């Protein structure tokens, strides 16, 4: 039987480092944009890039939550954010809004 992937939340950079140190195969985190837990200590765009590089250098996957329901007036901002994520290179995107799923598919084709 294949061992399941150990996925841990990473509320901030220090928590992410701890999760990796203690053996997480993957971490999930939110940016300060489009994450459902707006009051959490989320990652800035620069920290998101740094976190992805840090994790990938250690063989750990990064999943980014984009789990708010996007309003029509946010669509341009969402496109810019997904474009940025595409340049950063996370291993997966955690999405709630089905409209955002379609947008993610445009930026991250199979």
Nearest CA among 97, 109, 20 for reference residue 62 = 20
**What pTM, to 2 d.p., does this model score?**
0.90
pLDDT at 90 over 90: yes
Which tens digit of pLDDT belongs to each residue from 12-25? 999 999 999 999 99
Which tens digit of pLDDT belongs to each residue from 36-80? 766 667 899 999 999 999 999 999 999 999 988 888 888 899 999
**Mean pLDDT of the region 24-38:** 86
Residue-level pLDDT at 33: 84
**Residue where the block lists tokens 């928590």:** 15
Nearest-angstrom CA–CA distance, 89 and 64: 10
Checking 90-94 for CB contacts under 8 A at 24+ apart, the result is: 90/52, 90/62, 90/63, 90/64, 91/26, 91/61, 91/62, 91/63, 92/61, 92/62, 92/63, 92/64, 93/63, 93/64, 93/65, 93/66, 94/28, 94/63, 94/64, 94/65, 94/66, 94/67
């Amino acid at each position: 039987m294949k061992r399941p992937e150990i996925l841990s939340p990473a509320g901030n950079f220090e928590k992410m480092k701890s999760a990796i140190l203690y053996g997480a195969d993957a971490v999930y985190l939110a940016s300060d944009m489009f994450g459902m837990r707006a009051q959490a200590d989320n990652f800035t765009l620069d920290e998101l890039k740094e976190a992805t590089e840090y994790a990938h250098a250690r063989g750990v996957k990064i999943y980014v939550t984009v789990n708010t329901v996007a309003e029509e007036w946010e669509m341009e901002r969402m496109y810019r954010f997904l474009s940025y994520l595409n340049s950063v290179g996370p291993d997966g995107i955690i999405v709630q809004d089905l409209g955002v799923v379609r947008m993610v598919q445009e930026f991250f084709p199979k």
